[in-house]
Structure 1
Amino acid sequence: MRYVNNALAALDDFYVRRGLGKAGIAREDIPKTAPKAMNGPAQIRWLRAIEDWPHVRDRALALLPFYAGLRIGDAVALDVPDVRISARKGVLVVYGKGGKVREVPIHLQLRQPLMDWLDERRTWKHATAQRALFLNRRGGRLSARGASAVFTAIAEAAGLEDPTTAHIGRHTFVTQLIRGGEDLITVAEMAGHARLDTLRVYSQPTEEDKHHALRHLTVDR
């Protein structure tokens, strides 16, 4: 809806510049709740399903939105040199929307899965000739569609009630940081958001928050 409203604002601007006045098209109503994210129990089930998943590549891929806030396009665009792990620390060099580059610290729980995949990747077809971090079975770069299928399969294995995608994993990353009290500028830089207004919606109540609020009401037992 925000993209629609931005496009309509651009149309208004075009009309004004042509001397025609605003186009006057009604805007879409923006939701008053935070983007959907996994709650605590769902997060545990998701992480356990990843831990039990038999494929090393998929385990590393599935953790990137949750622990690094990557979009699925960001993840499949990663090259091997973009994973920079030292003895104590590590960062991901992420090329996001508009060619903007950001560095995201590698979470401790993400470090070993990435190292395991880098070790196994050497045995894959065309691995030495291909820069892509995540390969498909033919030795080419894994596509966003192929990566989405990985998330869908793991979510089904986790038995989650609600559909879980890479984007929901990313929303969960951002939600946890903001509700944990982290500075908006820091979170925006890590998540690759150009505008702080985009992040403020995460501080709004979720549907779960609204249901949880009912616990204060008196009932006759």
Structure 2
Amino acid sequence: MEKFTRELNLYLQFAKLEKGLSENSIISYKNDLERYLDYLVFEKKLNDLSGVSLNHIEDFLGYLLDSECLSASSLARNISSIRSFHEFATIEGFSHANPAELIELPKKAKKLPEVLNPIEVEAILSTPNLEKPAGIRDKAILECLYGTGMRVSELTGLEIDRLFFEIGFIRVIGKGNKERLVPVGEIAQEAIEHYVEHIRPLFYKPSKADKAKNRVFLNQRGGALTRMSIWNIVQKAAKAADIQKPVYPHIFRHSFATHLLEGGADLRAVQEMLGHASINTTEIYTHVDRSFLHQVHKEFHPRA
């Protein structure tokens, strides 16, 4: 690759001094570009950057995909390196135009959310010790998370006057201070009502009334529960249920949405319950359980 050594070294110097890239980034760019320039020299027989075309770059990217088995993020980094290098080469007069400017970065695949299956949910919800006040509260919290799909921040901020159990709804204050009414099932409602009626008064401290701000879920000192408190409650329950996968509060929201859709719920209804501004955000849950899709296809398609 001696033909392009000068251009590459000047670019790496520019990237380090002018763009302020870290040493690790410089090394990655160097490795990416050395491989790219070697390909141009030995496979395409090029000795001048002005001779590089869009087709040459596309061929190289195809070569990478075929031979290197790169991840989407690694491919994106290679494209970014090539685009930046050719932009520099054009500015410095090493080539007449930038052949890489039309190359698009690959879209990052959405990571599918982890979910609990119904058996795992049932195991976790059955772990709190209902002989103790804190256990009754924890049961209500877990049932609320799974039964409504609300976020942890929404649960910790939930106030008594937002419980409309006579009509089976909870008024939730979500992101951007947006309000929504979320239906709550009988099991979750009974658990929350039992806690509010019999346990919350035991925890309530008049001296901390202002600090608790009428919050539904309190700690045993009368203060409002924090996000970390909810995390600890969920971790304790998951450990007691011997769940092997990572379990965290938000997994109940993922599971809530997934189980509704698997049961036949309308996508826009689930969007409304979750408080998603865009239905595109909710649609990710339609792709979570591929085995469920196979099951439906096998059961209902005449040629399955």
Instruction: Give TM-score, length-normalised by structure 1.
Output: 0.75
Q: Specify the code of the residue in structure 1 equivalent to 2:255.
A: T
Separation of aligned partners in 2, 1:27 and 1:122: 55
Higher relative contact order (CA 8 A, sep 6+): 1
Separation of aligned partners in 2, 1:102 and 1:154: 28
Map of 2:179 onto structure 1: 101
Q: Specify the code of the residue in structure 2 equivalent to 1:79.
A: E
Map of 2:165 onto structure 1: 85
> CA 1:185–1:77 in 2, change beyond 3 Å: closer, same or farther?
same
Q: Deviations over 1:148-203 (max 9, x none)?
A: 11111111111111121111111110001112221111111111111100111111
Q: Deviations over 1:118-155 (max 9, x none)?
A: 12111224268341111122212111111111111111
Flag structure 2 segments of 5+ consecutive residues without an equivalent.
1-100, 296-304
Higher mean displacement: 114-123 or 53-62: 53-62
Matches within 5 A, 1:17-56: 26=105, 29-31=108-110, 34-50=112-128, 54=132, 55-56=135-136
1:126 pairs, out of 201, 205, 210, with: 205
* More helix by percentage: 2
2:219 pairs, out of 133, 136, 140, with: 136
* Larger radius of gyration between Structure 1 and Structure 2: 2
Q: How far does residue 27 in structure 1 lie from its aligned partner after superposition?
A: 6.1
> CA 1:44–1:125 in 2, change beyond 3 Å: closer, same or farther?
closer
> CA 1:159–1:123 in 2, change beyond 3 Å: closer, same or farther?
same
SS at 1:38's partner residue? coil
Map of 2:238 onto structure 1: 155
1:145 counterpart = 2:244: no
> CA 1:45–1:27 in 2, change beyond 3 Å: closer, same or farther?
same
Map of 1:215 onto structure 2: none
Map of 1:116 onto structure 2: 194
SS at 1:103's partner residue? strand
SS at 2:127's partner residue? helix
CA contact (8 A) 1:49 1:157 kept: yes
CA contact (8 A) 2:125 2:139 kept: no
Q: Specify the code of the residue in structure 1 equivalent to 2:201.
A: R
1:176 counterpart = 2:176: no
Q: Specify the code of the residue in structure 2 equivalent to 1:107.
A: G
SS at 2:202's partner residue? coil
CA contact (8 A) 1:53 1:154 kept: no
Flag structure 1 segments of 5+ consecutive residues without an equivalent.
1-21, 213-221
Give the total of aligned pairs: 189
Q: How far does residue 44 in structure 1 lie from its aligned partner after superposition?
A: 2.5
Separation of aligned partners in 1, 2:290 and 2:183: 31
Q: Specify the code of the residue in structure 1 equivalent to 2:274.
A: A
CA contact (8 A) 2:125 2:237 kept: no
CA contact (8 A) 2:174 2:275 kept: yes
CA contact (8 A) 1:78 1:133 kept: yes
Segments ≥4 residues shifted beyond 3 Å: 24-28, 50-54, 205-212
Instruction: Give TM-score, length-normalised by structure 2.
Output: 0.56
Separation of aligned partners in 2, 1:26 and 1:77: 40
CA contact (8 A) 1:49 1:154 kept: yes
- Quick one: percent identity of the two aligned structures? 27
